Each structure stands twice: as C-alpha cells, then as structure tokens.
Chains A and B, each alone.
Chain A
Amino acid sequence: DGGITQSPKYLFRKEGQNVTLSCEQNLNHDAMYWYRQDPGQGLRLIYYSQIVNDFQKGDIAEGYSVSREKKESFPLTVTSAQKNPTAFYLCASSVTGTGGADYGYTFGSGTRLTVV
C-alpha cells in the first residue's frame, strides 16, 4: 500500500548534536512538507518542497535544514542551532495543482524528538 514512512518513531538528542529525521513516500507525490507540533500551538510549517532539488522555508525554518534529492525522500535535519527542538514532527505529502486541495495531505505517523 502507498503511504508515508517516518523514522524513527522516537529520537533522543543530546545538547549540541545534529539529528536527521527520515521521511519517505511511495505515493508519487511531487510536494512534501515538514511540520512541527507543540501542545496548544497546532502544526507549524518548517520547510516544504514542491519539486525535486527545490525547497522553501516555512514559518519556523530557523535551526532546521532539508534536502530533496529524490522525489520519494525529504529528510529533515534538526541542527544544534535549534534552541528548543523537543516536539512532535510530522511529514506530509500531496499532489500539486488542484489535486493538493482536492485530496489534502497524506501524513506520516510522526517522530517524537526529545532533547536529553
């Protein structure tokens, strides 16, 4: 079955470390997104990509980096510059054009990142 796979499910980071969250989709979607979820704040957009080798900053990109070398993959790196990285991270994908609005996003099951 097609879907989005996020790994790992739980991730622990030490202060000053960079960590990378994986997101892979086999839906043949052009667009992919990373959101951060904190209690009481809903989901906030970190980065998004509408096509391979191109991506744009979202509302809270500081301290994060991404790459989009393959259509299927959109990894997120949480760098040491991110001062408060403990959160739940959700990856999503969608078709582009009117399809994105017709069908909404498909979400992964998320990664819980904790700084220790």
Chain B
Amino acid sequence: AQTVTQSQPEMSVQEAETVTLSCTYDTSENNYYLFWYKQPPSRQMILVIRQEAYKQQNATENRFSVNFQKAAKSFSLKISDSQLGDTAMYFCAFMKGQGAQKLVFGQGTRLTINP
C-alpha cells in the first residue's frame, strides 16, 4: 500500500518570504501522479499543482513549484513571494497511474503567512 508522509505539522513565515513544504511517499509503482492540495479556512479543497512521475521536469504554477526527486521519493512544494491568502492546510497526495484512481493523502501541514 502507498503511504504519504508530511513531517511538518505546522509552519509559519512572513509575507513575501519563500517557504518549502516537505512530502515523502512510499510506493512500488513506477507510474503514478503526485498532487498538492490547499485547504483554506473555508475548508474547500483546491488543487495547487500536480506532477507526473514519468516527467523529470518539475511542475510550476505561478508562485508554486515542486521539487520532485523520484529516487528519493520526495515531493516538496515551494511557495515564492508568499501572500496572506496562502494561509491554509496543505496536503500532499499520491495517485497510482493504473486502476482505481484513489488519492492517498498525507497528514497535512498547517501554513500560516504573517503580515
């Protein structure tokens, strides 16, 4: 079974700083996808970024980028020029490339951006 681990329960940075959230996963699959979801205080889950395991290039979406290290099974999220609206829970998630597309989530990291 796949597992996803987020070792930072809480993080806090000042507005405009850069912050990196860590995520490691365990799988024997070779074809899979990784995601970062954001859950603001409204509790609505929002997809931030996704990465396909067979792509070596790290995904980027505006201020959000990932550092995908397949051999190390690491998938960290970097938020540049952080904004107050980035305050949220962030979840790392794994999906197998074949079969039922169940998302397996990490425990989450609560990120606070301070003014």
Question: Measuring CB to CB, which residues of chain A are less than 8 angstroms from any residue of chain B?
Answer: 31, 33, 35, 40-45, 48, 50, 56, 58, 88, 90, 92, 94, 96, 100-105, 107, 109-110
Contacts and interface: CB of A to CB of B under 8 A. Distances in A.
B47 A42 contact: no
B16 interface: no
A48 B100 contact: yes
A40 B104 CA distance: 15
B33 interface: yes
Interface of B: 4, 6, 9, 33, 35, 37, 42-45, 47, 50, 52, 91, 95, 97, 100-108
B101 A41 contact: no
Contacts of A44: 105
A110 B107 CA distance: 18
A50 B100 CA distance: 8
B91 A109 contact: no
A35 B108 CA distance: 14
Contact of B52 (A45, A101, A105): A101
Nearest to B6: A42
Contacts of A105: 45, 47, 103
